[in-house]
Structure 1
Amino acid sequence: MFYTSMFFQYISQYLKTRFQYRGDLFVEFFSDLLSQAINLIFILVVFGHTSLLNGWNRDEIIFIYGFFLVPYAVFSAFFNIWDFNERYIVKGELDRILTRPIHSLFQIILERIELESLLGAITGLAVMFYSGAKLGLDVKWYDPFLFLIFVVGGALVYGGVFIMIACISFWADARTSLMPMMYNISNYGRYPVDIYNKIIRFVLTWVLPFAFVGVYPAAYFLGKKEWFVYAFLTPVIGIIFFALSILLWNQGVKKYRGAGN
């Protein structure tokens, strides 16, 4: 109950702050929408030169991209820790966090929350409905529930991986960061993994499992039965990686000795 209360208090303060600057909120939403549109145009350009991509047609790729946007929006809203090294380790703000009687990661997540990123989920749903209608997908009564489970699983995969990357700062507090490179690698999860070679496919499935954010769960709704096992592994992989990231974080906090040392 204590953590639930703290969560809603943080949300309340965040909304008060954001609505003081509605213009900034609109600009951020427009820039995100423009970025998503550019990625969609890239897919359309690719399929302007070919009708199939290793057996996947244009509307299937668009559907996967639309699905990818939903868990990515959840991740972007609640796991905005890309500047953890610079802000909390190098500048020493983690010292402030550790003086409070609440888990440090929970505080950092809520301090860096960006609820406007959830608007990207609306774009993703719109893209999914458009491509799904073009494909004539058959929706079962339980599919919305599976969709929510897959979205949560995908967001936990993202969160787990990036928390682990942030934890490196506890042992190596240099200003350089792996975050930008990891964000670029994560984009591979929005495309079918079988268009890559075996090594990349293995990495995107078991090492940096970004394929569980986009293509694997989306393949279930596309009726790709050969991927069903991977689709239903999505929440399992998400829980495993997120749990491992929490354990690594707790060990990192024990290692941390303050900005002055």
Structure 2
Amino acid sequence: MFYVSMFFQYLSQYMKTRLTYRVDLFVEIFSDLLFQAVNLIFILVVFGHTQFLSGWTRDEIIFIYGFFLVPFAFFSSFFNIWDFNERYIVKGEMDRILTRPIHSLFQIILERMELESLFGVITGLAVMFYAGSRLDLSISWYDPFVFIVLVLGGALVYGGIFVILASISFWSDSRTSIMPMMYNIGNYGRYPVNIYNKVIRFILTWILPFAFVGVYPSAYFLGKEEWYGYAFLTPVMGIAFFGISVILWNIGVTKYRGAGS
């Protein structure tokens, strides 16, 4: 209950801060929606030259992209730690975090919230409904519950990977560009993995499992029975990777040397 209370207190302060500068808030929301629209246009341009991509139709690819946007929106809202090394290690703000009687990762997640990114959920659902209507997909009564579980699993996969990368900073405080590079790699998860070669497919499934954010869970709703095993493995991968990330984070905190002079 203490952590729940802290979450709502941080949330309250966040809303007060963001609503003070409403124009900036609306500009950020608009830029996010524009970025998503550009990616969708790219898919449409690709399918303007071909009807199938490794056995996937245009509407199936669009559905996968829509699904991908939902867990990615939760990730972007609560795991905005791309500059963790620069801000908390190099500049020494981790010292401030560690003086408070609350888990350091939880504090940083709350400090770096960007809840305007949650509008991506609306965009993703709209894209999914559009593609699903064209594909004549049927929905069972339990599918909304399966959807929630798969979305949370995908968000935890994304969050776990980036928390693991952030944890490396506790051992090496040098400035690195690995975070932006990983964001680009993560975008591969919004396309079917069988369009890539076997090496990339293996990496996106077991090493950097971004495929569990988009294509694998989407396969369940698209009726791709040969991929059901991967789809139902999504929450397991999410819990496993996020659990590993928290363990590495806790170990890394014990290695933190402070900002120094």
TM-score by length of 1: 0.99
How far the C-alpha of 1:217 sits from its partner, in A, is 0.2
Deviates more, 1:167-176 or 1:52-61: 167-176
CA distance in structure 2 between the partners assigned to 1:40 and 1:241 by the alignment = 29
User: Is 1:158–2:141 an aligned residue pair?
Assistant: no
CA distance in structure 2 between the partners assigned to 1:146 and 1:15 by the alignment = 31
CA distance in structure 2 between the partners assigned to 1:251 and 1:210 by the alignment = 25
CA distance in structure 1 between the partners assigned to 2:100 and 2:37 by the alignment = 42
Instruction: Give the paired residue count.
Output: 261
Q: Percent identity?
A: 78
Q: Provide Cα deviations, 1:64-114, integer angstroms capped at 9, x if missing partner.
A: 000000000000000000000000000000000000000000000000001
Q: Which amino acid aligns with 1:242?
A: F
The residue number in structure 1 matching 2:47 is 47
The residue number in structure 2 matching 1:93 is 93
Q: Which amino acid aligns with 1:140?
A: S
User: Is 1:199–2:199 an aligned residue pair?
Assistant: yes
Q: Provide Cα deviations, 1:11-31, integer angstroms capped at 9, x if missing partner.
A: 010001111111111100110
The residue number in structure 2 matching 1:108 is 108
SS at match of 2:59: helix
CA distance in structure 2 between the partners assigned to 1:44 and 1:176 by the alignment = 35
CA distance in structure 2 between the partners assigned to 1:4 and 1:67 by the alignment = 28
Structure 1, unaligned runs of 5 or more: none
CA distance in structure 2 between the partners assigned to 1:176 and 1:208 by the alignment = 18
SS at match of 1:19: helix
The residue number in structure 1 matching 2:15 is 15
Q: Provide Cα deviations, 1:159-187, integer angstroms capped at 9, x if missing partner.
A: 00000001111111111231000000000
CA distance in structure 1 between the partners assigned to 2:76 and 2:181 by the alignment = 16
Q: Provide Cα deviations, 1:19-64, integer angstroms capped at 9, x if missing partner.
A: 1111111100110011001000000010011000000000000000
SS at match of 1:140: coil
Q: Provide Cα deviations, 1:234-257, integer angstroms capped at 9, x if missing partner.
A: 000000000000000000000001
How far the C-alpha of 1:208 sits from its partner, in A, is 0.3
SS at match of 2:20: coil
CA distance in structure 1 between the partners assigned to 2:107 and 2:35 by the alignment = 29
The residue number in structure 1 matching 2:28 is 28
SS at match of 2:132: helix
The residue number in structure 2 matching 1:225 is 225
TM-score by length of 2: 0.99
Matches within 5 A, 1:127-138: 127-138=127-138
Structure 2, unaligned runs of 5 or more: none
Any conservation in 2 of the 1:85–1:177 contact (CA below 8 Å)? no
- Compute the RMSD of aligned alpha carbons: 0.6
Q: Provide Cα deviations, 1:186-232, integer angstroms capped at 9, x if missing partner.
A: 00000000000000000000000000000000010000000100000
CA distance in structure 2 between the partners assigned to 1:235 and 1:8 by the alignment = 26
CA distance in structure 2 between the partners assigned to 1:188 and 1:226 by the alignment = 20
Q: Which amino acid aligns with 1:29?
A: I
Q: Which amino acid aligns with 1:141?
A: W
